[in-house]
Structure 1
Amino acid sequence: MLERLELEAFLTLAEELHFGRTAERLHVTTGRISQTIKKLERQVGALLFERTSREVRLTALGQQLRDTLLPAYEQIGAGLEQAVTAARGITGTLGVGFSAGWSGDLVVQAADLFRVRHPDCEVHIQEVPLGDPLGPLRSGKLDLQLTEFPIDEPDIALGPVIFSEPRALMVPAGHPFAGRETVSLEDLADTVLLPMTGNIPGYWLDYHYPRLTPSGRAIPHGPPITYWQEVFSHISVGKGVSVVAARGVRYYTRPGVAFVPFSDAPPIEYGLLWRAGEENDRVRTFIQIIREIHPPAGRSGRA
């Protein structure tokens, strides 16, 4: 029988893959986490994690155990959260934002379930402009949003990665890349990348619209674009190319625009954000519903 700390230590370490962060999240020492994992491994009779001085990785058996335990653990947490919130009641108004169509689909689905469980709380949903991704959250118009990472701001708390989407390149239909099966990050040096502009963190722009290829070649940038819908107009008339999640082909199909998958680009991750220190009952409950509908795809961000 697993003790609570053994279960939480194992699942948290399986998510974080870092003993220090795991100890931080569980409010115990790193040594306690190490001892707990060793005890669990003795009980199982095999290693659950591969440890080196540089990284921690799940073994095949560890991954199997995580996949078996996590759904039940999440279900227990969801049941407890439902009982607690039902007892104290959730009222007021909750503003939830999203940046991409697939994020919006999940937010709407979660909002429908939230309203059924908490009919005394209103939920307002709005799309977050890419030109000002944190403005509505910081101004108080939104309490929570599902948007592209990376985000590293002292006043913004990060939840788990919900989606992890492979990237594609949007190109004019007549572009030489349009007929290819894949493109690489090095190919960006041979075209013009159309970046977004606005009140956007510089590190976010550098991550999604790089200026150098992995080998150090310069990537030409075209005129910056303020609104997402403008991207399609610029691409369709041959002004340049832009990066998008590969799933965008099902949401943004437009005449004159082709989608080509990347062979080597890191995925685009979408996660939950809220104002640091303002994680109230409404926010916590909505986050739990999203996790219930769509379990997180990756490790949590800085909270």
Structure 2
Amino acid sequence: MEQRDIEIFLTLADELHFGRAAERLHVSTARVSQTIKKLERRIGAPLFERTSRRVEPTPIGRRLDDELRPAYQQIYDAIDRARAAARGIRESLRVGFIGAASGQFVLEVAETFRTERPDCELRSYEIQFGNGFTPLRGGEIDMVLATVPDHVARQADLTSGSVLDQENQLLAVSARHPFAGRPSVAFADLARTTVLRTPPAIADHWDRALLPSHTPDGRPVERGRSFDTTQEMLALVGAGLGTYPVSTQFTSYYVRPDVAYVPIHDAPLYRRRFHWLSAAETATIRAFDRAAAAVATTRH
């Protein structure tokens, strides 16, 4: 079994979706499908059950994943540690996070990870919303935990890790806004309000992907002032100067008397996951992502 075949099998076992696995590996969906079929012919049994609605490992596929993954990771971990030792460098990992809930989660994962890799120096950093993935691309951090819709994180130079949590989208509005008393709003309702802008540094991709210029029925979405930090955004919202879509965690971590959160019932889910530069991926990054997935599983 070739290295790339193993990577494709393990990634599909993580994602349980041919398209997402292909995006994560930067290959075509057809390549993923062909590789799995080749492995199934070699083994002599199906590894995944495929329907129009879901992909699930068969008992044989699940057993192969359980037995193959640790051995595969041990090889890469050993190579990475040998490279670090050859350079006389102690392993280190710089983990960024966006949002209070993500910060708490990173600390939980770090505690678990240190028991497995006590030789690795871990450092965590809060990333302001306005910086987005800029610190990652600038080499300031190795990976970042963010809660955004998939299409925001789908960027050519990034790899996204395991889905750790999913949250609904809410519209942050002034407590005095007409929407504040409603049980929910539709995405089309954004045309009836002014939506704040993210900072210019990330607006080229983040803002356009998160908030298209028009609603599904073709009405323009009016854009207001830009902001740099979460607290600045909430201050503008509370003052009635605009609205902004946020995730469910805001109802626990960013409670304010002047801001109300209204569900957007037809908006795509936010997904919490780690992201890193594909070209800078290491065994340590992958190991931390696996530890995060384990912690997330215990939470659920």
TM range (shorter): 0.7 to 0.9
What is the CA-CA distance between 1:127 and the residue it aligns to? 1.2
Whether the 8 Å contact between 1:41 and 1:48 is mirrored in structure 2 is no
- TM-score, with length taken from structure 1: 0.76
Aligned counterpart in structure 1 of residue 36 of structure 2, from 24, 28, 33: 33
For 1:247-279, what per-residue CA distance to the aligned partner results, in whole angstroms no more than 9, with x for missing partners? 210111011111111111111223322223222
**1:17 and 2:28 are equivalent in the alignment:** no
User: Partner of 2:130: helix, strand, or coil?
Assistant: coil
Partner of 1:189: 191
Residue of structure 1 equivalent to 2:69 = 77
Residues 11 and 30 (structure 1), Cα distance of their counterparts in 2 relative to 1, 3 Å cut: closer
User: Quick check: which one's helix share is greater?
Assistant: 2
1:225 match: 227
Change in CA separation of 1:16 and 1:227 when aligned onto 2, cut-off 3 Å: same
Q: Deviations over 1:170-213 (max 9, x none)?
A: 11112111111111111111111112113105232112233211
Amino acid at match of 2:140: K
CA offsets 1:77-96 (integer angstroms, 9 cap, x no match):
35874797589588432110
Which has the higher mean CA deviation after the structures are superposed, 88-97 or 226-235?
88-97
Output the CA distance in 2 between the equivalents of 1:67 and 1:220: 52
CA RMSD in angstroms comes to 3.9
SS at match of 1:131: helix
C-alpha separation between the residues in 2 aligned to 1:269 and 1:172?
25
Which residue pairs with 2:295 in the alignment? 293
Q: Is the 8 A contact 2:92 2:121 kept in 1?
A: yes
Inter-partner Cα distance in structure 2 for 1:42 and 1:75: 17
Partner of 2:284: 282
**8 Å Cα contact 2:11-2:21 kept in structure 1:** no
Q: Does the Cα contact within 8 Å between 1:78 and 1:292 map onto a contact in 2? A: no
Q: How far apart are the structure 1 equivalents of 2:159 and 2:17?
A: 17
Q: Identify the residue that residue 87 of structure 2 maps to in structure 1.
A: none
Shift of 1:225: 1.2
Judging changes above 3 Å, is the alpha-carbon distance between structure 1 residues 238 and 159 closer, same or farther for their aligned structure 2 residues?
A: same
Counterpart-to-counterpart distance in 1, 2:121 and 2:20 = 40
Q: What is the CA deviation profile of residues 135-185 of structure 1, one whole-angstrom value per residue up to 9, with x for unaligned ones?
A: 221222201111234234444333333332210011111211111111111
Paired position in structure 1 for 2:168 = 166
Shift of 1:67: 9.9
Superposition pairs for residues 230-269 of structure 1, below 5 Å? 230-269=232-271
CA distance in 2, matches of 1:105, 1:68: 37
Q: Which amino acid aligns with 1:237?
A: A
Partner of 1:199, secondary structure, is helix
**Aligned-residue offset at 1:229:** 0.7
CA contact (8 A) 2:185 2:262 kept: yes
Letter in 2 for 1:103: S
Structure 2 stretches lacking a partner, 5+ long: 85-89
Is the 1:131–1:226 Cα contact (8 Å) retained in structure 2?
yes
CA distance in 1, matches of 2:227, 2:209: 16
3-state secondary structure, aligned to 1:218: coil
Match of 1:108 in 2: 107
Q: How does 1:125-136 map to 2 (within 5 A)?
A: 125-136=124-135
CA contact 1:20–1:30 (8 Å) conserved in 2: no
Identity of aligned residues (%): 27
Unaligned runs of 5+ in 1: 51-55, 296-303
Distance 2:218 2:105 in 1: 38
Q: SS state of the match for residue 213, structure 1?
A: coil
Cα distance change, pair 242–191 in 1 and its aligned pair in 2 (3 A): same
Please report how far the alpha carbon of residue 101 of structure 1 lies from its aligned counterpart in structure 2 after TM superposition.
2.2
Q: Is the 8 A contact 1:198 1:226 kept in 2?
A: no
1:57 aligns with 2:60: no
Q: Is the 8 A contact 2:199 2:226 kept in 1?
A: yes
Q: 1:21 to 1:156 in 2, by over 3 A?
A: closer
C-alpha separation between the residues in 2 aligned to 1:102 and 1:12?
27
Q: CA distance change for structure 1 residues 281 and 182 in 2, over 3 Å: closer, same or farther?
A: same
Q: 1:249 to 1:202 in 2, by over 3 A?
A: same
Q: Answer with 25-34 or 229-238: which moved more.
A: 25-34
